[in-house]
A and B are shown apart, each in its own frame.
Chain A
């Protein structure tokens, strides 16, 4: 089992709809969870960090963490074409941050 798993996509979502990105992780003792956005040819940009079970909201973004199910998700409300990018889920394993392969999101105008 891969340490951090994401569906590679592409995930196509109509403009204005909710985009839902999912990630599972294998290490039960992981404590830190991150979502990064990466535009083509650019470096990853931190979108959200979450450490506790439940939801964390920041503007149009909501991160959801369920440690029992080893599952973390990112919801993007009112999706915009500028949200089209690859979204990387990252989870700590011991002293390292491990990245998933990313989900390509495409917002349809």
Chain B
């Protein structure tokens, strides 16, 4: 079982709604990630937090707003989404971050299935 926990597992929201996806890891990892995955496509990186600071934003639209309250928690706030934003949203964590780090192995949570109607 993954030690990266995501809630909710399924979310249906309207285009005017505000909702949040939540992620928690209990492995003492210092890097956390949000990925988006569409059907039959690979995961696409959205955001990277390292030591609770936003390190990478892959030009994600502002209707997606990440938040890292502490080293164990990562949220993704959703507002005014479009139907094309429907996807599997994956949270992940790693011990470290960066190519040199031997602890850069990424572990995924089970994901949150988002449907925008």
Contact = CB atoms under 8 A, between A and B. Distances in A.
B58 to A, nearest CB: 8
Given A43-B90, A44-B43, A95 B106 contact: no
A99 B56 CA distance: 17
A29 B100 CA distance: 11
Interface residues of B, number: 23
Nearest to B109: A43
Contacts of A30: 99
B111 A49 contact: no
**Max chain B C-beta neighbours (<10 A), residue from A51, A90, A93, A95:** A95
Given A43-B88, A49-B105, A95-B56, A32 B42 contact: no
B85 interface: no
Interface string A26-68: 0001111010100000111110010100000000000000000
B98 interface: yes
Interface residues of A, number: 25
B110 interface: yes
A95 B90 contact: no
Nearest to A96: B45
A88 B36 CA distance: 15
A31 B100 contact: yes
A43 B110 contact: yes
B105 A46 contact: yes
A95 B105 contact: no
B108 A45 contact: yes
Interface of A: 29-32, 34, 36, 42-46, 49, 51, 88, 90, 92-97, 99-102
10 contacts: A42-B111, A44-B43, A45-B108, A93-B99, A94-B99, A95-B55, A97-B104, A97-B106, A99-B42, A101-B42
Interface of B: 2, 41-43, 45, 48, 55-56, 88, 90, 97-100, 102, 104-111
